[in-house]
Amino acid sequence: MSKKKEGFGKMFTSKAKTLELEIDQYLGLIDQSVMLLAEAIKKYLDGDIEQFEKTTADVDRSERDADDLRRQITHRLYAEMLIPDSRGDVLGLLETTDNIADVAKRVANHFSIEKPEIFPFLKDDFRELTETCVKAASELTLAVRAFFREVYRVTEHLDKVHFWEHQADEIEDRLKRKAFEAPDIKEFSKRVHMRFFAERISLLADESEAVAERLAISTIKRNL
């Protein structure tokens, strides 16, 4: 097998097997945070506030678990002197990927605290925006996994991150225009509220693209 197709296979020696498993678990927690946010927003839009609050608590727990595991991985990298040549890239990727879980937590908390009135004609747009941002985040974690396992597959996932981020931008713009143009919303403050929540949700895709750009550079360095 060529060095390119091995990707980071040789990085994880038997000594680093625990590290490999922890990184995979960490990425799983990032995925979990995003999917739980999507479920929380779905419950909110359906009017099931009790289940929304329970799922919001799950988002918070998942984000905290990811933080704890990231710190554990960082300690292991330095304490056990693992992958010294790539340590900086790995830590940078883990720290920026953590921003995605942070966004999921903040969005859920914004909904929980502010309880925005989502007008019926905007609910489908909010659902579509959320689903699209989740797709961007999911492709990003797949790209990070490929970085460690099959580096030659990173680019195909990064291309999808950029695609879904662009789609999210279009949905966000459409949603905001509808909110500011619709006669159904009488108060300007409620129009602004719709804009605010559209932008908060879209941050998931924006952060995913930011990590994707960093990952693209790390992949180029890895292939040199």
- Give residue 75's pLDDT: 84
How far is the C-alpha of 172 from the C-alpha of 223, rounded, in Å? 36
- Give residue 5's pLDDT: 40
- Give residue 185's pLDDT: 92
> Radius of gyration over alpha carbons of the chain, in Å?
19
How far is the C-alpha of 154 from the C-alpha of 115, rounded, in Å? 39
What global pTM score does this model have? 0.89
- The series of mean pLDDT values per 10 residues for the chain, 224 residues long, is 42 67 94 98 97 98 96 82 67 91 97 96 98 98 90 93 98 97 93 96 97 91 73
- Give residue 1's pLDDT: 37
Question: CB of 152 within 8 A of CB of 222?
Answer: no
Q: In 10 A of CB 106, how many CB atoms? A: 15
Helix (H, G, I), strand (E, B) or coil at 109: helix
- Give residue 12's pLDDT: 54
How far is the C-alpha of 31 from the C-alpha of 28, rounded, in Å? 5
The CATH number given to 15-223 is 1.20.58.220
- Give residue 187's pLDDT: 94
Instruction: Give the DSSP letter string of 93-126.
Output: HHHHHHHHHHHHHHHHHHHHHH-----HHHHHHH
- Give residue 123's pLDDT: 97
- Give residue 9's pLDDT: 45
How far is the C-alpha of 3 from the C-alpha of 90, rounded, in Å? 19
Domain boundaries, the chain: 15-223
DSSP assignment letter at 183: T
